[in-house]
A and B are shown apart, each in its own frame.
Chain A
Amino acid sequence: MAPKDGTPSGGGSDSRFFNTNKKGEMHELRMELHSTDRNIKVDAVKKVIASMTVGKDVSMLFTDVLNCAQTANIELKKLVYLYLINYAKSQPELTLLAVNTFVKDASDPNPLIRALAVRTMGCIRVDRITEYLCEPLGRALRDEDPYVRKTAAVCVAKLYDIAPELVRERGFIETLHDLISDSNPSVVANGVAALSEISETSGRDVMKISASVLQKLLAALNECTEWGQVFILDSLAKYTPADAREAEGIIERVTPRLQHANSAVVMSAVKVILSYMDVMGGGAHADSIRALTRKLAPPLVTLLNSEPEIQYVALRNINLIVQKRPNILENEIKVFFCKYNDPIYVKMEKLEIIIKLVSEKNIDQVLLELKEYATEVDVDFVRKSVSAIGRCAVKLDRAAERCIGVLLELIQTKVNYVVQESVIVIKDIFRRYPNRYESIIATLCDNLDTLDEPQAKAAMIWIIGEYAERIDNADELLDAFLETFEEEDPAVQLQLLTATVKCFLKNPEETQDMVQRVLDLATEESDNPDLRDRGFIYWRLLSTDPEAAKLVVLGDKPVIEDDTFRLEPNLLNVLVGQIATLSSIYHKPPEAFVVRAKRGATGSDGMGVGDLGDDIEEGDEEEYEDDNDVNRGGGGDDLLDIGGLSMNDNAASSNYGNLGLEPDMFGAPTPSVAEPEARMSKVCAPEKSGGIELWAGFRQVQGAVKLELDVRNISSNVPVSTLAIQLNKNSFGLSPAAQQIMCNPPIPVGGSGRHSVELVVNPAMLVQAPAGQPASPQIQVAIKNMTTGLVFYFAVNFAFEVLFSPDGALERATFIESWKSIDDKKELYGTVSDLPPASTDIDQVAAKFKAHHIFLIARRPVPNAEGQEVAYFSMRTTTGMVFMAELTFKKGVNAAKVCLKTEQIAYGVQAKVALETLLRS
């Protein structure tokens, strides 16, 4: 069916156009462009395009090339237009000369030429040309020919990108809406694509899916091209069905798409089904959910038979799906077994999923596979396989012994990196199951010489220190490592220091010299502040109170947990809503990597997305992935013990002495809500604050902002009596009115007490948010226990509504005027779903809001939309910032749309989060 001859039959081959490297070339080209011979002319334009392709500047021929546009020859016209698109920006004045040609072409009898003219004009991003574009575009949108209409539909999106106000003025968005009812499916598809894009860039729902639009989209879904199906499915995914029945109805129309040969159609259909399953909930629809669960597995498995690139996309998405709905693929673990010739990146992703699906039922089979992988050639893959075995052990209590068996077998192979990786994971297994598998320590000690990587060495040293009493020659082993102390990696040095101290505490007689030496090395010879600080702490502890040192250094460590399901639930929900987008590949919310995307514009669950995004941007992907695992369980004791040894090395070792707190480490607390009472969240675990647990929240008391602190003494033998508090500079300029917190009477072990710290706004404490970025909600707090001298840190998200003042009600007229005067760019938009019943009724919402100084200004039913009502609210902070909000409710739907306008755009997200949190509460 394909012609096998690659050479065009007329005019010879295009490659000769690349060979024009001689003197006076431009002059010659110019002559040719003006030739009367058509063939010479066409050839000359081709030469120009060829030069453009290789990156040569040919913009000086602009007028000459433009001259050739006046032709009936489509091929030549297309070439000239291609040139124009490339150089229009550098020659805006001259480009205007082309306007006439465009306008003329836009009413050519040949629809292909009409479309070409409109398409090209839209690509020329010169302000003044857009004025001329509107006329022909308006005509093209109503052209009798569908090819012209579909081209015009995309052109509206192009125009919106250059001049959004022109699109609105000319009513092109309404015309796009008309195109959704077009008789031609290609036109519908491009219309949907254009509307979706405008919705996304403007952050406003211009798509407006109503019942009738919905029916039209579903009808077009059956008829349009594969790309069109993807556009339609992706826009359906953003729609929230009114109720479970509607959701089920749409799902029924979408499921046939799972059989499409185009994987993009399949992925987008999966996304629609998954997000609607949430709307269906459980209960009465449990059967339908089960049926859907069964239906989703085969197409997902089929995707793994596609090209490797598609497999990769599918696997990254499946990674999210198995976290959200594990039962979909619970019986399919075999399809994720690696093939010998799979590309490495596919194998790596498969491993991740195997670990997520592993269970008591299939562990034996999985272990056989992993063992096989551990003998392959690629080092990274082998290491990951070995580490996977360890993760299985940590995850499945009853299989742990079998996993260890396999690891011991692998250690026997003596392959250097296999042994090292095994040691690293065995350390984690020891932490998960203390005092169970110590019998294998001897085998590990036999392989000490193999270890040359810092991480493996650090792990081994930790094991030696931890179990020093069971290793006869623990001190000798450590001594051997100490010889090279100064050359070691900081992670290893930290471990050596800790292990030696442990060894000393367990067996003081034999190791006195050694501990002295290591303390000297750490405190006097080292430039590393972490190491020095840790050394000093140990020194002081050992010299003042050896018993206390024992308690601290040899204390019980919290058991680590399995890190397989490590995406934080809020983030996971956001990402599942982003299936079939790059966001699902990077496992980051779109705000984290798309520069122009508006925060909250993606719809559901705007809460927390913003700040999550910020956290993520700080590190690269790998760091982010690993961040929560070990620390979630054992965050605190890194300080003095296992720093540099947990599965994520860098985060832990930089923990100590790092005053710029990393929010992740503390398990980012949700914004606490100031009900009339403050909602408290745990901000500080006892492990890192000398046995004191802290809960914090915010509230407003008679116009003053209070930080409420619950102090619970879990295990501090010294009763808590006096604390000092300091806040880091923050986005709200808050600082404590007084720094002392007196606990009277002192809080003994097991006791607790609540303390209110008044916060005042202090301009000197204000951190301006970077231009264009929202203000961070986070407040970082340092507390010093004056009795013990211990300083610890935590971070808590501020509850913005606490700042709202009682005079926040705007005059109706003022409200309307300000609402209109604020630019649409300063608008934030989102949907809050899963609301409690009390939050779906405007009266109740208004009452609840009023308690927080958010005032109802007006309400009205939405014309032409039955059951929908909007309510307008205003609020003002004590610092004078004004926010206005429009909330849309629909009868019988437990979701609300929130639209917020303000001139203080940096704080808009905060106000929006506050509203959403209150709605949810």
Chain B
Amino acid sequence: MISMIMVLNQKGEIMISRQYRDDVSRVAADSFRIQVIAAKEASSQPPIKRIENCSFLYTRHLNMYFVALTKSNVNPALVFEYLFQKIRVLKAYLGEEFDESSMRNNMTLIYELMDETMDFGYPQNCAVDVLRLYINLGNVKPQDEPEPEQLTKQITGAIDWRREGIRYKKNEVYIDVLESVNLLISSSGNILRSEVTGKVQMNTKLTGMPECKFGLNDKLVIEKESTGARKKPGVEIDDCTFHRCVRLGKFDADRTITFIPPDGEFELMRYRVNDNVNLPFRLIPAVQEEGQTKCSINLKVIANFSEKLFATHVVIKVPVPKNTSKSKIKNSFGRAKYEPEQNAIVWRIKRFPGKAECMLSVDLELVRTVRPKAWVRPPINVEFQVPMFTASGVHVRFLRVYDKSGYHTNRWVRYITKAGGYQVRI
């Protein structure tokens, strides 16, 4: 199991270290500093490095390295998941962008968290809501700190993600369905890969320990339910994973999603859809290199979604050769300009209506280079957000909340589709 967790800064200095076993020592930080940090290996080399029988598994947050050291044959996925959760816990305590100085400012708190979330190298409870009940910022205790016995039941209980006795005047659930579309089109215009990865995020404000049942328009479920006439086609979901509150056995048996939710925000599920993806944008590029000094690029972009909707934050990055000296840009919508530090024409469109078409044409002048080398032509990259649209066609069919008291629940559902890696090779 894990022998030691260290957090190092960019210089390789130990900011925090907690030893769980005595088969490694602080000195190991030196070899990590020399062989990984100083060698600038971190971004290109694998995140698992063995130096003299000691394995270093590491990940980064901003410019800090979170490193797990071990000499045994650990489960590496477990180690990384722990490191990620550790970072998540710290974000919850110190803020999303916690940095070196906020780490130093809260050193004792972090030691406490390290002690509580791992014992002898075995990860223990990392649920923020529960940790927060007994590990607090500074010396201020919350007023409703539960009795120790109550607390330990909570920490070790089967439902360790929710505490009892939660009350709300208004019972509400917010559901966000967030999709990102990954697309890769070859330079000849063929779709090489199109895939949607989606997640369902919830924010629950519910009283008591409510039982929830959640349904998407999952093809397998719909085919089972609607026999005969009114058959609505569902979406074929290739695979999904669930928050640990969901009863996996039940899902495996009949694909129903049932759970007692954590209080507040959490990610209920992730899913993947490969077939019948509605691509929000179509791109038709044409690139012409004329000799060594001239190059022209034409790009047509078509919005494929309904005219009632619109896309926001559209950014299209059209790569240009490094030796570009002058550019002449014509575009029909938004603003496009040459950004030399990105080696690209960056075209920003704040609001892109559905079914609209727009054009970009660029004429480039290139500087002659001493040793001409073919331009590597990185792909065109597109970013966008389309609210109230799902590229997979997934939508929420129902969310039922059952509680002893039988209260009424208000539900709000939002959809948004973003670009994941949306790339067109040229």
* Chain A hits for B189, CB < 8 A: none
* Chain B hits for A761, CB < 8 A: none
Complex Cα gap A54–B6 (Å): 12
B239 interfacial by beta-carbon distance below 8 Å: yes
* Chain B hits for A344, CB < 8 A: 43-45
Binds A, one of B222-230, B262-270, B331-339, B357-365: B262-270
Judging by beta carbons under 8 Å apart, are B156 and A377 in contact?
Answer: no
B122 interfacial by beta-carbon distance below 8 Å: yes
Judging by beta carbons under 8 Å apart, are A13 and B105 in contact?
Answer: yes
- With A264-B77, A340-B423 known as contacts, the answer to whether A225 contacts B244 (CB < 8 A) is yes
Q: Which of A224, A253, A345, A582 contacts B73 (CB 8 A)?
A: A582
- With A190-B122, A256-B249, A305-B272 known as contacts, the answer to whether A341 contacts B71 (CB < 8 A) is no
Judging by beta carbons under 8 Å apart, are B14 and A334 in contact?
Answer: no
Q: Which of B43, B106, B119, B251 contacts A14 (CB 8 A)?
A: B106
Judging by beta carbons under 8 Å apart, are B107 and A299 in contact?
Answer: no
CB distance from B164 to the nearest CB of A (A): 16
CB distance from A574 to the nearest CB of B (A): 12
B139 interfacial by beta-carbon distance below 8 Å: yes
Q: Which of A49, A53, A85, A157 contacts B14 (CB 8 A)?
A: A53
Judging by beta carbons under 8 Å apart, are B84 and A307 in contact?
Answer: yes
* Chain B hits for A112, CB < 8 A: 134, 148, 151-152
Judging by beta carbons under 8 Å apart, are A337 and B184 in contact?
Answer: yes
Q: Give residues 650-688 of A contacting B (CB, 8 Å).
A: none
Binds A, one of B277-285, B369-377, B400-408: B369-377
Judging by beta carbons under 8 Å apart, are B239 and A298 in contact?
Answer: yes
Q: Which of B13, B120, B184 contacts A339 (CB 8 A)?
A: B184
* Chain B hits for A78, CB < 8 A: 111-112, 115
Judging by beta carbons under 8 Å apart, are B193 and A337 in contact?
Answer: yes
Judging by beta carbons under 8 Å apart, are A264 and B241 in contact?
Answer: no
Complex Cα gap A54–B29 (Å): 12
Judging by beta carbons under 8 Å apart, are B98 and A15 in contact?
Answer: no
- With A6-B102, A184-B156, A578-B73 known as contacts, the answer to whether A49 contacts B248 (CB < 8 A) is no
B327 interfacial by beta-carbon distance below 8 Å: no
B243 interfacial by beta-carbon distance below 8 Å: yes
Q: Give residues 141-199 of A contacting B (CB, 8 Å).
A: 145-148, 150-151, 154-155, 157-158, 161, 184-187, 190, 193, 197
Judging by beta carbons under 8 Å apart, are A372 and B111 in contact?
Answer: no
Q: Give residues 242-271 of A contacting B (CB, 8 Å).
A: 253, 255-257, 259-264, 266-268
B153 interfacial by beta-carbon distance below 8 Å: yes
A111 interfacial by beta-carbon distance below 8 Å: yes
Q: Which of A200, A268, A345 contacts B45 (CB 8 A)?
A: A345
Q: Give residues 1-42 of B contacting A (CB, 8 Å).
A: 1, 13-17, 19-22, 26
* Chain A hits for B50, CB < 8 A: 586, 593
Residue interface bits A286-314, CB-to-B below 8 A is 1, else 0? 00000000000011011001011110111
Complex Cα gap A148–B134 (Å): 15
Q: Give residues 56-74 of B contacting A (CB, 8 Å).
A: 57, 59, 70-74
Complex Cα gap A262–B245 (Å): 12
A514 interfacial by beta-carbon distance below 8 Å: no
Judging by beta carbons under 8 Å apart, are A227 and B239 in contact?
Answer: no
Size category of the binding interface on chain B? 35 or more
Judging by beta carbons under 8 Å apart, are B1 and A49 in contact?
Answer: no
Judging by beta carbons under 8 Å apart, are A312 and B48 in contact?
Answer: yes
Binds A, one of B89-97, B290-298, B345-353: B89-97
CB distance from A400 to the nearest CB of B (A): 23
- With A256-B248, A261-B241 known as contacts, the answer to whether A307 contacts B19 (CB < 8 A) is no
A852 interfacial by beta-carbon distance below 8 Å: no
Q: Which of A6, A184, A261, A590 contacts B267 (CB 8 A)?
A: A261
A421 interfacial by beta-carbon distance below 8 Å: no
Judging by beta carbons under 8 Å apart, are A343 and B44 in contact?
Answer: yes
> Which residue on A lies nearest to B110, using beta carbons?
A14
* Chain A hits for B276, CB < 8 A: none
Judging by beta carbons under 8 Å apart, are A301 and B119 in contact?
Answer: no
B174 interfacial by beta-carbon distance below 8 Å: no
Judging by beta carbons under 8 Å apart, are B77 and A310 in contact?
Answer: yes
Judging by beta carbons under 8 Å apart, are B374 and A375 in contact?
Answer: yes
Complex Cα gap A184–B154 (Å): 11
* Chain B hits for A54, CB < 8 A: 13-14
Complex Cα gap A341–B264 (Å): 34
B101 interfacial by beta-carbon distance below 8 Å: yes
A9 interfacial by beta-carbon distance below 8 Å: yes
Q: Which of B76, B96, B265 contacts A582 (CB 8 A)?
A: B76
A807 interfacial by beta-carbon distance below 8 Å: no
Judging by beta carbons under 8 Å apart, are A594 and B71 in contact?
Answer: yes
B165 interfacial by beta-carbon distance below 8 Å: no
* Chain A hits for B240, CB < 8 A: 259
CB distance from B2 to the nearest CB of A (A): 11
> Which residue on A lies nearest to B375, using beta carbons?
A375
B104 interfacial by beta-carbon distance below 8 Å: yes
Judging by beta carbons under 8 Å apart, are B92 and A2 in contact?
Answer: yes
* Chain B hits for A119, CB < 8 A: 115, 119
CB distance from A121 to the nearest CB of B (A): 12
A534 interfacial by beta-carbon distance below 8 Å: no
Judging by beta carbons under 8 Å apart, are A150 and B156 in contact?
Answer: yes
Judging by beta carbons under 8 Å apart, are B252 and A256 in contact?
Answer: yes
Select the residue from A53, A82, A122, A309 with max chain B CB neighbours within 10 A: A309
A125 interfacial by beta-carbon distance below 8 Å: yes
Judging by beta carbons under 8 Å apart, are A154 and B122 in contact?
Answer: yes
Q: Give residues 118-157 of B contacting A (CB, 8 Å).
A: 119-120, 122-125, 128, 134, 137-140, 148-149, 151-153, 155-157
Q: Give residues 332-383 of A contacting B (CB, 8 Å).
A: 334-335, 337, 339-341, 343-345, 365, 368-369, 372, 375-378
A3 interfacial by beta-carbon distance below 8 Å: yes
Judging by beta carbons under 8 Å apart, are B265 and A1 in contact?
Answer: yes
CB distance from A258 to the nearest CB of B (A): 8
B197 interfacial by beta-carbon distance below 8 Å: yes
Judging by beta carbons under 8 Å apart, are A302 and B104 in contact?
Answer: no
* Chain A hits for B84, CB < 8 A: 307
A231 interfacial by beta-carbon distance below 8 Å: yes
- With A49-B107, A343-B44 known as contacts, the answer to whether A15 contacts B101 (CB < 8 A) is yes
CB distance from A854 to the nearest CB of B (A): 32
* Chain B hits for A85, CB < 8 A: 19
* Chain A hits for B92, CB < 8 A: 1-2
Judging by beta carbons under 8 Å apart, are A145 and B160 in contact?
Answer: no
Complex Cα gap A309–B264 (Å): 28
Complex Cα gap A811–B169 (Å): 82
B108 interfacial by beta-carbon distance below 8 Å: yes
CB distance from A594 to the nearest CB of B (A): 5
Judging by beta carbons under 8 Å apart, are A585 and B48 in contact?
Answer: yes
Complex Cα gap A150–B116 (Å): 12
CB distance from B16 to the nearest CB of A (A): 6
Complex Cα gap A150–B157 (Å): 11
Complex Cα gap A308–B46 (Å): 9
Residue interface bits A749-762, CB-to-B below 8 A is 1, else 0? 00000000000000
Q: Which of B45, B93, B241, B247 contacts A2 (CB 8 A)?
A: B93
Q: 4 shortest A-B CB distances, which residue pairs? A: A8-B138, A147-B152, A298-B239, A256-B248
Known contacts A255-B252, A259-B240; can you find 13 more A-B pairs with CB under 8 A? A78-B112, A147-B155, A186-B160, A190-B122, A227-B123, A253-B249, A260-B244, A268-B75, A302-B270, A309-B47, A335-B193, A372-B425, A582-B72
28 residue pairs A–B, Cβ–Cβ below 8 Å: A2-B91, A6-B95, A6-B98, A10-B138, A15-B107, A17-B107, A78-B112, A79-B111, A147-B151, A147-B156, A186-B155, A257-B248, A259-B241, A261-B242, A261-B267, A261-B270, A305-B197, A305-B272, A308-B47, A309-B59, A343-B43, A343-B44, A372-B186, A377-B376, A413-B374, A583-B73, A590-B73, A595-B71
